Amino acid sequence: MTPLRTLDQSSKLKDVLYEIRGQALVEADRLEAAGHNILKLNTGNPATFGFEAPFQIVRDMIEAVPSAHGYSDSRGILSARRAVMYRYEQDASFPPFGPDDVYLGNGVSELITMVMQALLDEGDEVLIPAPDYPLWTAMTSLGGGTPVHYLCDEEDGWQPDLEDIRAKVTPRTKAIVIINPNNPTGAVYTREILEGIAQIARENSLLVLADEIYDRILFDDAVHIPMASIAPDLLCLTFNGLSKTYRVAGYRSGWLVVTGPKGHAAGFLEGITLLASTRLCPNVPAQHAVQAALSGVQSIDALIAPSGRLHEQRDAAWEALEQIPGVSCVKPQGALYAFPRLDPNVHEIHDDAKFVYDLLVAEHVLLVQGSGFNWPTPDHLRIVTLPETRVLTDAVERMGNFLSSYRQ
């Protein structure tokens, strides 16, 4: 018999990293299988922390299932795309767009992948924040492009550093990604910063990719300003979906909205339409959840109000982190995470992935290391603030105790 040929993964995956579900999760699953109770604070998945799907969304989807067994239009069903239009029409500053400017996807994740595949050629550069939601970096690499990370400034509440962005633009830069509100830092960008980014994009003819999946998860006085409304004169792709605001991440339902001038980008947009066709269509029952979600009661508002669960948990996590010697944390203004700093003069950590692994084995708490978000130094961790306050403060205290005697 012919010997079986070794199958390795494709070299295209060389730089594709996704540490949120990396080696530490493999170990967490092994510990769980061995009977341990593991607190997994690695993914922003509301359902696993007792958040229920809003009833009207579940009901509409169930009602749609008997007639949702066929493929749909590749961009998505019209009623859902119109619901997305209606959502943005409520904001007078958001540039107008039509139903053909909306693409539905199996989560924002699929749309990010499609856009990067449609956009990039070998050597094209994409400006991506550091820290970032790592799918942006991974899909830039998979698409054959080169991720170039611009710094967000922790001392400035994690706002993007405009000087650093400017310094990193080259003739090969094709696009700039902004994640606002930000995962992992919880920063919500100021108008001034957004205008600064728009100006750089304008001067260098950059495509703007705005990941705004947390735009309705805001705390205190934070106000989210859509990037598209700051730069109506630029081609801007805005990404959003149901996973976070509506707590139905498992439905895999997201959208992409194209605004601004399109004439110069006809080829690229045709590329997106082509890729949307090749995946046939997004999951149809979940598309029926879009209209129900966007037109019904916005139950997220009660969760982020000062007495709401998400607000209280954000406060509790932040306060508990600030109590730990040698740990500081910019208070998150949005999203579902905290991104504390471990002072390198106090905590000797050279390998943050090893720290996460050791913490998991010792304390049965799973976090994600800052380097998993393309943060350049081993001095940050990301904590998901979705568990109930008691569980969250207990996890942070366990992390603090473990840190106090930890050396590498």
Binding site for ligand PLP (CB under 6 A): 44, 107-109, 133, 179, 183, 211, 213, 241, 243, 249, 254
Task: Select from 373, 371, 338 the least CA-distant residue to 134.
Answer: 373
Select 108 or 281, whichever has its Cβ closest to ligand PLP.
108
* Smallest separation, CB 334 to ligand PLP (Å): 11
131/196 with CB nearer ligand PLP: 131
Decide if 150 contacts 164 (C-beta within 8 A).
yes
Closer residue to ligand PLP in complex, CB, 248/349: 248
Which residue shows structure tokens 């001034």?
Answer: 192
Structure tokens at 291: 């209209």
Which residues have C-beta within 8 Å of that of residue 114, sequence separation ≥ 6?
103, 105, 272, 275, 276, 279
CA distance 113 to 133: 13
The least distance separating ligand PLP from the CB of residue 400, rounded to whole angstroms, comes to 26
Decide whether 134 or 196 has the Cβ nearer to ligand PLP.
134
> Whose Cβ is closer to ligand PLP: residue 106's or residue 393's?
106
Find all residues with CB under 8 Å of 380, minimum gap 6, and list them.
131, 339, 340, 341, 342, 352, 369, 370, 373
The full length of the chain comes to 408
Peptide bond into 160 cis (omega under 30): no
As a three-state string, the secondary structure of 129-176 is EECCCCHHHHHHHHCCCEEEEEEEEHHHCCEECHHHHHHHCCCCEEEE
Name the minimum Å distance from CB 109 to ligand PLP. Answer: 3
Which residue's CB is nearer to ligand PLP, number 255 or number 393?
255
Q: Which is nearer to ligand PLP, 241 or 370 (CB)?
A: 241
- Cα(189)–Cα(179) distance, integer angstroms: 9
Strand partners, 254: 105, 241
| Nearest distance from C-beta of residue 136 to ligand PLP, angstroms | 8
Closest to ligand PLP by CB, 204 vs 298, is 298
Tell me how far, at minimum, the Cβ of 132 lies from ligand PLP, in Å: 8
- Beta carbons of 385 and 338 less than 8 angstroms apart: yes
Token readout for 226 is 């859509």
Q: How far is the CB of 146 from ligand PLP (least distance, A)?
A: 21
Q: Minimum CB separation from ligand PLP for residue 150, in Å?
A: 16
Q: Which of 24, 20, 14, 121 is closest to 374 using CA atoms?
A: 20
CB of 233: closest distance to ligand PLP in angstroms?
25
Which residue sits closest to ligand PLP, CB atoms considered? 107
- CB neighbours of residue 156 within 10 Å: 13
User: In this complex, which beta carbon is closest to ligand PLP, that of residue 126 or of residue 213?
Assistant: 213
Q: How far is the CB of 131 from ligand PLP (least distance, A)?
A: 11
